[in-house]
Amino acid sequence: MSTPSREVLPEQNLTSAPVLSRSARPGAKRMTLSCENCQRRKTRPACANCESLGLQCSTRKPKRKRGRHAKVPETAPTESLEGSEHITSPPNVLGIAHTPSRNHIDDGMDDITGVYATHSHERSEVEGIEHLDVPVPSSVPNHSQPFDQVLPNPQPDWSVWDSITPGAVIHHSPFSPGPGIKPLFEALSHGLMTAGILEEHLEYVASCVDLFFQKIYPTYPVVYRPILAEAIDQLAHSVYDLDHKTFALLTATCSYTLAVLPTTTSVNSWPAATVFYRSSRVALAQYAEDDIENPDHTSIVIRMFQSGWAHVAGKRKTSWNMLGECIRLAQAMRLHDESTYSRMSHLEGQMCRRAFWTLYTGDKSSAILGGHPVCLGEKIFRDVVPVEYSVSLGDQDTVQIETGEGTQDMSMLAGFDANQDMWRAAERLLDFDLSRLVSVNGKHEEARRSQTLLDSYLSEFHACLDDLPPCLSLYTGFTPTASSFRFQAETGSPQAPEAMAIQRTNLQVSHLCLKMLITRRIHESQSRSKNGWTQQEEGCETSSFHIAETLCIARDLLYVVHTSSIELIRLNGEACVEKIRLIGASLLELIAKNPNIPAHSALRRYQELFPHILALLDSKASEMTDG
């Protein structure tokens, strides 16, 4: 890039960052007036913030005494570039070029805009540049927010990252020549060392990727493994010309994997997950605007994993905000429309299908567990051909299971697709207008049609998991057919692969949680229509039929938990723990409303068992809710 003839800001040194501190300037005094940079942000500190941020701190306002001021004749608004060097300015402590006059700021806007390329999506930043007297150096980030409390267009807290990796300077523009991701990788390595990771850091990254495909991929099949394998191979050969998108995907994958892994699986997993998360946020910030303008499946997946990390960390609002950005990207890409995929490559189309359906169910889960509105509902399919499910990508989606007939290959997409069918069937019930079941003004025929429709929806929901393979069913090893039925002592069924066990836990816990919600909703609607008041208002006891249904759901859930493990539940994320918590809360509420339940009843025994199970799971999100 040729040097422009007009005066512009000098390029920042990519190997060191100027840091102002009182220890670095012995004898220096803080300013008593606000500098131009502070005035632009409408703050009035004694410039301590400028010192800590490494900003050039100066002001052209002379100190004046109180009282009447002498009139100063106005100077000509225009001045030549050559004459600007005669303008008096404060001493240049750091050796940074003197600030050009306001008239030359507009002339150099093209050059300054290039420096601020990654931050130009914020209107306030662009407007601020147009009125600067002291432009901010390109290596200084925006510190308006803490790092973890990010907006839809991420603006990471660079000071937090720099505090973990002192001396590392991030090159802001991914489109101009520079060291690529080398500063990011060096910062990541230093952060992992600080987090107590002693093994070679690239090997640690590779092991995290292996853990993802072993334990997370069965429920989140949204990453194409060769992409990450190639990135790790390039880093192993000290090739740092990876794009920021691939690096952000790699670190986001590791962050979510380590966040949900039990501590027995990986030592120091949570501090390392935090380092990977911050690295991913920093990498995403390098190309965020271009990514929003030209998204692909990684645009959704990266933010989805970052949202998952925030959810595990107990930052539920931050997690929902990030998930909302994923949903907006999917809507902008029109991933719900099958015709969209005719313009994609085969691989990109398959990954986008998986990303959409993962978002589709995640949106419903967030609405139920967090009380958020549903953004991706059945109504988006009204005027389009709904997107189809993905097909297998070969060995990446295949596991081997042992059956009575020997070893067989099975696709993990069977459980993934069944999860989508289950949530779509439940959505029709949760959105059903139960008031249509009541005959109004003699419209008995309309009420009967509504009841018939509700019965068909209920039958579809209860049967949505009936065709699952035995390893994914509620009662594993049991096949309800005449030709395959065996007594347990005769079967000797081998243990299912871990991938199938993870999917089974997710499917069955979600199905029982939805069944509890639907059962309670229908029961409350029927009680309200028959009696004209709610049980909560009148303190009426619950019907024995509803108590029996609730007891059956709770018993099935305890069986799923019993035949699973704490690790399998945790690997399904905080959402799985919250579903168990929701069923337990419904059970305890039922007991509180019905004090006459006998002490020997199973409900009384479950009253102590569910809190015990939740304590074993150690849910951060549940702790935040309880608090």
Q: Are residues 404 and 341 in the same domain?
A: no
How far, in Å, CA of 240 to CA of 181, rounded?
6
How far, in Å, CA of 184 to CA of 452, rounded?
60
Confidence of residue 468 (pLDDT cuts 50, 70, 90): confident
Other CB atoms within 10 A of residue 103 CB: 13
Residue 389 lies in a domain: no
Q: Are residues 341 and 435 in the same domain?
A: no
Please indicate whether residue 537 or residue 54 has the higher confidence score (pLDDT).
Answer: 54
Taking the CA atoms of residue 602, residue 604, residue 607 and residue 609 in that order, the dihedral angle to the nearest 10 degrees is -50
Mean predicted confidence (pLDDT) in 131-153: 36
Task: Please tell me the predicted confidence (pLDDT) of residue 245.
Answer: 94
With DSSP H G I counted as helix, E B as strand and the rest as coil, what are the percentages for the chain, rounded to 5?
55, 0, 40
Indicate yes or no: pTM above 0.85: no
Both tokens of 53, joined, read: 């941020």
Mean predicted confidence (pLDDT) in 126-144: 36
Mean predicted confidence (pLDDT) in 303-320: 92
Task: Please tell me the predicted confidence (pLDDT) of residue 527.
Answer: 73
Please indicate whether residue 575 or residue 542 has the higher confidence score (pLDDT).
Answer: 575
Confidence of residue 179 (pLDDT cuts 50, 70, 90): low
How far, in Å, CA of 512 to CA of 458, rounded?
14
Residue 573 lies in a domain: yes
Q: Are residues 134 and 202 in the same domain?
A: no
CA neighbours closer than 13 Å in the CB half-sphere of residue 593: 19
Residue 362 lies in a domain: no
Output the DSSP codes for 405-438. TEEEEEETHHHHHHHHHHHHHHHHHHT--GGGGS
For 552, residues 6+ apart whose C-beta sits below 8 A from its C-beta are: none
Q: Which residues pair with 411 in a beta bridge?
A: 398
Please indicate whether residue 125 or residue 470 has the higher confidence score (pLDDT).
Answer: 470
Q: Are residues 336 and 399 in the same domain?
A: no
Weakest mean pLDDT among 156-170, 254-268, 466-480: 156-170
Task: Please tell me the predicted confidence (pLDDT) of residue 14.
Answer: 38
Q: Are residues 466 and 605 in the same domain?
A: yes
Share of the chain above pLDDT 90, in %: 31
Confidence of residue 513 (pLDDT cuts 50, 70, 90): very high
Residue 86 lies in a domain: no
Quote the domain boundaries for residue 291.
158-355
Q: Are residues 265 and 199 in the same domain?
A: yes
Task: Please tell me the predicted confidence (pLDDT) of residue 479.
Answer: 58
Task: Please tell me the predicted confidence (pLDDT) of residue 353.
Answer: 97
Confidence of residue 24 (pLDDT cuts 50, 70, 90): very low
Q: Are residues 327 and 448 in the same domain?
A: no
Confidence of residue 23 (pLDDT cuts 50, 70, 90): very low
- By the 10 Å C-beta count (0-12 exposed, 13-18 middle, 19+ buried), 596 is classed as exposed
**Could you read off the pLDDT of 340-386 as tens digits, one per residue?**
999 999 999 999 999 999 999 999 998 888 888 889 988 899 889 99
Task: Please tell me the predicted confidence (pLDDT) of residue 180.
Answer: 76
- Count of domains forming the chain: 3
Please indicate whether residue 334 or residue 613 has the higher confidence score (pLDDT).
Answer: 334
Residue 148 lies in a domain: no
For the four alpha carbons of 554, 557, 561 and 562, in that order, the dihedral sign comes to: positive
Q: Are residues 350 and 400 in the same domain?
A: no
Confidence of residue 86 (pLDDT cuts 50, 70, 90): very low
Q: Does the structure show a pLDDT above 70 at 52?
A: no
CB-CB contact of 337 with 385 (8 Å): yes
Residue 152 lies in a domain: no
Mean predicted confidence (pLDDT) in 599-621: 73
- Highest-confidence segment of 76-90, 112-126, 253-267, 370-384: 370-384
Q: Does the structure show a pLDDT above 60 at 434?
A: yes
Q: Does the structure show a pLDDT above 50 at 18?
A: no
Q: Kindly provide the residue ranges of all beta strands, DSSP E only, lying in 99-152, ordered along the sequence.
A: none
Distance of CA 509 to the CA centre of its chain: 22
Q: Are residues 475 and 571 in the same domain?
A: yes
Residue 550 lies in a domain: yes
Mean predicted confidence (pLDDT) in 426-445: 77
Confidence of residue 119 (pLDDT cuts 50, 70, 90): very low
User: Mean pLDDT of all residues in the chain?
Assistant: 73
Q: How many angstroms separate the most distant Cα atoms in the chain?
A: 105
Q: Kindly provide the residue ranges of all beta strands, DSSP E only, lying in 131-282, ordered along the sequence.
A: none
- Highest-confidence segment of 159-163, 300-304, 465-469: 300-304
Task: Please tell me the predicted confidence (pLDDT) of residue 496.
Answer: 78
Residue 370 lies in a domain: no
Task: Please tell me the predicted confidence (pLDDT) of residue 570.
Answer: 85
Q: Are residues 347 and 491 in the same domain?
A: no
Please indicate whether residue 592 or residue 185 has the higher confidence score (pLDDT).
Answer: 185
**Could you read off the pLDDT of 529-568 as tens digits, one per residue?**
665 544 444 445 567 778 888 888 988 898 888 888 888 8
Q: Are residues 129 and 162 in the same domain?
A: no
How far, in Å, CA of 184 to CA of 205, rounded?
14
Spatial CA neighbour of 389 closest among 418, 348, 429: 418
Task: Please tell me the predicted confidence (pLDDT) of residue 106.
Answer: 39
Which of 324, 355, 386 is the last residue in one of the domains?
355
For 433, residues 6+ apart whose C-beta sits below 8 A from its C-beta are: 450
Spatial CA neighbour of 193 closest among 179, 204, 206: 204
How far, in Å, CA of 277 to CA of 306, rounded?
7
Q: Are residues 254 and 221 in the same domain?
A: yes
Amino acid at 107: D
For 88, residues 6+ apart whose C-beta sits below 8 A from its C-beta are: none
